Structure 1
């Protein structure tokens, strides 16, 4: 390297150093991370070419009951391949009943009302909903990074912030905001839930406010999708540690009330699942799960009290136009659907571990895919190929999909390593009777269990039908828990507990 090159390199290094000092003076790592995610996502969602998600046939479940309808003349031909941003708004009587109870409707209706007030009373622009989601997501990212960088050394804090942008600014995630899939709400509420729990652990912000955020985000997560109903039980179990974080009576009563409400809502959400959807999932649990991988399909059916002749349905889906029997017939209701429940399917896999192992490995192949390959991201007007997907700010999701081992053994090993890394700090907190510091491991363990439950529920509830999309909860959990583990390693607090509001360590915005 000659002298001029060295001089140029030194100038660049000096400029970067001055830029870093300026950023550290005026913006915290959490603020910069939130601002960067906001800017990147806004560019993808609101600047042409608009990025969104094509409809795979599920949109009808949420649209009509909320006063919106498909208005594009060739809508069915664009399904799976193209993102559609404009929909019609019912002007008069809407006789569509509620086909699915979901907290997602709260946000769809809010977006619809804002659209009518400020844009158009006849055409719904889905970007109105995306704007609501993005504002919430930005706040969630801020809270998460704040929980990990508060009172941390500045340089490490900004590295963590950059990592957060790299992962959570990924378009494979934010493209869901321009869609009617519940995955968008699941992503946002998972971040809020985990961030608020970590902020209670750190003693950052008001505990009652963070407890309220934790309970509300958990409720919205559990009720966002029918398969999420069992999550409420797991979250409530962690909530016991959250309840113990403080000893004063008002806080514990508030926590106990919130957790009790979460359990009740979780049970009610499961009970309100329409029978039609239960039958669809039962059909796929058998024809796309148990039967295709069984060495003796007829015997597998007989073990659950079902006539072996129904093995002819193996490999089919509920939506196939031509089947050997009408899937909605009374015969199917009495001789097939009525003969088993999801408990029997779970028991079957428990007594056939080899088959269960193969299904888990099959699930692992799609567990690290953030964006299903079958849905396009562009509008048809962009002139791109049917099903074309964007690569704009998608490096993380592409690397994860390409490099992560696709076996359930890796998932299990990952979970064990994470728990093992955090165990010393948890044991130390228990021994010193520091209830607040004992919150972190149970919180992360609960997230891991939510991810594993997402995989199990997908297999038991629907076999391999649309498996990658059904495993979205695990995708979120893997990224969140891995991000937190790496961040804590960078901060030097994997094996020890971090400062709380009672400590006097320097803040991330002022430390050298």
Structure 2
């Protein structure tokens, strides 16, 4: 059957385009263009402060210099902050790789303005980093693929990576911007190792650095370093050179140490906040008999009155920072005992897992506005510009934990045949793709479990960001591989790595 003239003409145009613009370059250019328009062209889009900024702001030399800043919480984005001119008495509240980004941004800002920090300076750095991450990720999925498939993937990538729900974080002090970018670099470098694209040593360096920055970006990401270290063991054997294997093994060991250190270095102040919510907004919320539940932890049943409360309430029944609560409440339970309780009460575990699933597909927390107050938008207004993907995802994704399990099984089922074939062919490099998918999925699950066990249902939409980001990257990779016919097509040969 003869091809239609328009189809033939489209094919000719695609051949010409492929000579000058690769799918990865096309996707990256469009994402950069849209992101620059959203973040740097009025009305500027960013994220309102939900009260968390002070944790990272003061210790890094910045302060709130807007007289009516308190009235902006949750509702309006603020782009300017003061820079301490003299001694800063505020010690670091917690260790985070985000502090490095802020310090570099302040240094660049001070080349132009010594007193006022413009958050858009940070957004410029994040956008540049993001551009590289998007390029590597799309390149990993489209390299050596037919142009007609590669450009389809490139266009779809624009809807994911240019979505304002993700890029709005760049104009904020939330750590989600680092998480999203580093997660993309981590997955992209792993897939490029699988595809044997670019230098293996270069990809190993990117894999390590992105994994380290991701692990140390947020306290709840402590398990990430351990997961990467365990699931990345197979990467040690993609090359036979002793130097490569030693460097990769050392990198994975350091990532595991970083994960452990991130957990150990969590300040006690934040530990108690999370423990409070884990009990009052977690276990007690799902319990039919809160008094009996407390007694099973050795806690006086009278504390059942705290059920459903949050740590930051201005008027509380008991001082949440008192020594009394420390001795008779906080000291009676921890991460292990809460996990054990949920394992012993699967019905409660199921309820809170489904509760978590309702927020697991929300990229942008609904509580925070995106516009400056001067724009004149209503309090808490959020932009809908280039948000098709995030809105569809939030509206259509099934909000049950059962769906998450089914999703994982489908992904494993899609990639398992190629993995088995690689094992039979003894081709180690071809074996790495499925472990990379599992690594991403396990990191996503850790975001859910740590949120639930560590803080109950408090601010779930934000705490589960790691899952929604991992879900998007893994799902997109699977769709791209299906479009490019790369799920089972490349049969591995005998291992001939150098």
Same-fold status (TM-score > 0.5):
yes
Give how far 1:17 is off: 5.5
Question: Map of 1:187-266 to 2, 5 A cutoff?
Answer: 187-266=180-259
- Distance in 1 between the 2:471 and 2:176 partners? 15
Question: Map of 1:36-51 to 2, 5 A cutoff?
Answer: 36-51=30-45
Q: Match of 1:371, SS?
A: coil
Give how far 1:289 is off: 0.3
Give how far 1:352 is off: 0.6
The answer for the alignment partner of 2:94 in structure 1 is 100
Give how far 1:296 is off: 0.7
The answer for the alignment partner of 1:360 in structure 2 is 353
The question of 1:318 aligning with 2:311 is answered yes
Question: Map of 1:480-499 to 2, 5 A cutoff?
Answer: 480-497=473-490
Give how far 1:10 is off: 7.3
The question of 1:83 aligning with 2:90 is answered no
- Distance in 2 between the 1:495 and 1:208 partners? 27
- Tell me the C-alpha RMSD between the 2 structures: 1.6
Q: Match of 2:476, SS?
A: helix
Q: Are the counterparts in 2 of residues 51 and 378 from structure 1 also a CA contact under 8 Å? A: yes
Among residues 116, 134, 151, which one is paired with 2:127 in the alignment?
Answer: 134
The answer for the alignment partner of 1:444 in structure 2 is 437
Note the alpha carbon deviations across 1:37-58, whole angstroms, 9 max, x for none: 1000000000001000000000
Q: Are the counterparts in 1 of residues 418 and 491 from structure 2 also a CA contact under 8 Å? A: no
Question: Map of 1:337-352 to 2, 5 A cutoff?
Answer: 337-352=330-345
Q: Are the counterparts in 2 of residues 202 and 499 from structure 1 also a CA contact under 8 Å? A: no
Note the alpha carbon deviations across 1:391-423, whole angstroms, 9 max, x for none: 111000000011111111111100000001100
Unaligned runs of 5+ in 1: 1-8, 504-512
Cα distance, 1:399–1:251 mapped onto 2, change above 3 Å? same
Q: TM-score, normalising length from structure 1? A: 0.94
The question of 1:53 aligning with 2:51 is answered no
Segments of 4+ in structure 1 off by > 2 A? 13-23, 495-500
Note the alpha carbon deviations across 1:258-292, whole angstroms, 9 max, x for none: 01111111111111110000000000000000001
Give how far 1:149 is off: 0.6
The answer for the alignment partner of 1:6 in structure 2 is none
Q: Match of 1:76, SS?
A: helix
- Structure number with greater CO (CA < 8 Å, separation at least 6) is 1
- Distance in 2 between the 1:407 and 1:265 partners? 32
The question of 1:393 aligning with 2:386 is answered yes
The answer for the alignment partner of 2:466 in structure 1 is 473
Aligned residues: 492
Q: Are the counterparts in 1 of residues 422 and 492 from structure 2 also a CA contact under 8 Å? A: no
Q: Match of 1:229, SS?
A: helix
The question of 1:69 aligning with 2:63 is answered yes
The answer for the alignment partner of 1:25 in structure 2 is 19
The answer for the alignment partner of 1:507 in structure 2 is none
Give how far 1:22 is off: 3.8
- Distance in 2 between the 1:245 and 1:163 partners? 30
Give how far 1:336 is off: 0.6
